[in-house]
Every structure is written in C-alpha cells, then in structure tokens.
Amino acid sequence: MVAVARAPRPEPHQAADPNFTADVLAGLGGTPKRIAAKYFYDAEGSHLFEQITRLPEYYPTRCEMKILREHGKDIAKLIPEGAALIEFGSGSTKKIRLLLKSSPQLAAYVPVDICADYLREEVKELKTDRPQLPVLPVIADICMPFDLPETARNAPARCGFFPGSTIGNFEPHEAADFLRNAARILGEGAILLIGYDLIKSPDVLNLAYNDLQGVTAKFNKNLLARMNRELGANFKLECFEHHAFYNRERNRIEMHLASLKRQKVRVAGDTVDFRAGETIHTENSYKYSIESLTALASGTGWNLISTWTDPKKYFAVSAFKFGKPDKKTARSG
C-alpha cells in the first residue's frame, strides 16, 4: 500500500472537474468565446434552474406537466405490458411521477443521469411512491453508449422518456446523434417520448428567458461565479450582462454573457482578454415545430406515432417508434 501524504491545498478554490478546466480554457480561447450549457448545472445552477421552472414567464415546465397530467392515460396506452421505462437525463421526479402514475404495466424504471447525487435522491423518492417497482439507476452520459441493467434488457419492451425540452439544448446534429444512441440502447420496436418546446411568438420566447425577477440572469451569471469558485478565476459579475434573445433564422434562443467593458480576467492560471461588448455564448435553446422534430427523428429511424400539446400549443410531447413505420398513419392530438 502506498501512503499518500495529504498536503494542505494551496488553492483558495474548490477542486475543479478536469474537463471543466480544459473546456473553459478552450472555449474562452476561441472566437467567438463559448462555454457548453452543461456547465450551468453545479449545485447552485441546478437550484436556480428549479426556480426558473416556477417563474410565471417560463411556461415550458408548466405546459409539459399539464400535457402529462391531461394525456397521461393516452400516453400510457402506447407503453406495452411489462415494459421497462428508461428516462434519459433524469432531473426532478415531478414528471416521471405523473407518467408512472398512469402506467401500472411497467416492470422497471431506469433513470439515467451523469450525476450520482440526483439519482440517489430520485430512487429514495420513488421508493416511497411505488415500493413494488424496481428502480434501477444508471450513472452515464446520455449521449454516449451505455448498457442497460439486465432486467431492462430482458424486458419484453423498452420505452424511453426524454422530457423537459433538453433536446433543444443540443445542436440539431447532436440531437440526431442522441436519437441514434437512444435507438441503439432501446432497440428495435422501442417507443421514445420526447418533450420539446414549440416555435411561437418571439415575444413569449424572449420574456421566458428575460424574466422580471432576474433569475435567468442569475442562472447565466452563475457560470462566472462557478469559474471563480472552481477555477480560481476573478470574474467581476457586475462587469458582465445577461443577454438572451430569439434568433428567428435558427429558431433558437441564444444566451450570452456580455462584457460591459474592455477587461482582462484570470482563469485557471491564464489571462483572458475581453473587448467591450464581446460575449461568451453560453446556451442555445432550439425550438421545433412538430414537423421539424418529426423530420429530425425520422432521419434517425424514429417514426412518429402521436403528439400531444397544451391548449396554447406552446409545448409538445411526441411518441416515436424505432424501426419500420406502422401501417397506421400518425395521429396528432
């Protein structure tokens, strides 16, 4: 056994994920500057996102919950007896609970997430809800191949669940890669339920990402605070501004952090120069029509079965089947 002397940590900041350091330095060294949206979600960022989902301007979570509440029985009819339900990137348990409530035929639930802490909490909560249902968490990156637990592999059918418009945070080519990966994991004949944000009036979209209480601005700026905490950076949060706007050509909300002046910032031992007005591009949130998502999915072998929307048609949940299209034509409701 090798004895390791524990030296006092010299840095005043928390230990950083090595990928975070490398990705931040590469992203801030490029033109335009960018940082991947996945880095929003440290403990503070996840907490702020929870607050966003309750804001009056941020309709997606409420609309999706309404769809799952009102059409849960119809959605559940597509899930075969004895199927395993695989949730990609499980976050809060609110949505899955609605689906589990209307699907007593499920034989197992497999939440997949890169964050072990989330999964632990989720398992605890669901155990009290459905004590008989096997909950089989998998710690994995949902964009990479991973193995399902044996019970799910051997189940007579598999159904994927990808809620929350997370698909909108992928570039379209990444969304296609995700769909191909999900097909490999779930297999021929599987069902996939996707929740996604629909194209709508730019006013509604712009407001949803520019809330009056400034929670989305705080969520965006938490990325700077996270770099200060974990990379020993010295970003002055008041010297950056939250910018979010709808890009009509690309059907996406873009979020940026704009430098309010010319400044130099230390990040992980490097110096990063900002021009006045220069931005860090922190997120894209793509909006789809039912047709454009159907086209994207069918290009990867997933064929539309049915779609449900809220009354205002702000949000949609579509069910797809992998493999040869059914004779019956797809319905929309």
- Binding stretches for ligand AVI (CB under 6 A): 52, 60, 164-166, 168-169, 209, 216, 283, 285
Please state the φ and ψ torsions of residue 225, each to the nearest 5 degrees. Answer: -65, -40
Contacts of 3 (CB under 8 A, 6+ apart): none
Instruction: Return the number of the residue (46 or 298) whose C-beta is nearest ligand AVI.
Output: 46
Instruction: Return the number of the residue (285 or 306) whose C-beta is nearest ligand AVI.
Output: 285
Cβ 251 to ligand AVI shortest distance, Å:
13
Cβ 285 to ligand AVI shortest distance, Å:
3
Instruction: Return the number of the residue (103 or 165) whose C-beta is nearest ligand AVI.
Output: 165
Cβ 107 to ligand AVI shortest distance, Å:
29
Give me the residue whose beta carbon is nearest to ligand AVI.
285
Instruction: Return the number of the residue (136 or 208) whose C-beta is nearest ligand AVI.
Output: 208
Cβ 193 to ligand AVI shortest distance, Å:
16
Q: How far are the Cα atoms of 58, 72, 134, 148, 172 from residue 131, in angstroms, in the given order?
A: 33, 21, 8, 21, 39
Cβ 109 to ligand AVI shortest distance, Å:
21
Helices 94-101 and 116-129, packing angle to 10 deg: 40
Task: Write out the two tokens for 156.
Answer: 């007579």
Distance CA 81, CA 217 (A): 45
Q: Which helix (H) or strand (E) holds 224?
A: helix 215-231
Respond yes or no on whether the N-terminal peptide bond of residue 134 is cis (omega within 30° of 0).
no
Instruction: Return the number of the residue (209 or 314) whose C-beta is nearest ligand AVI.
Output: 209
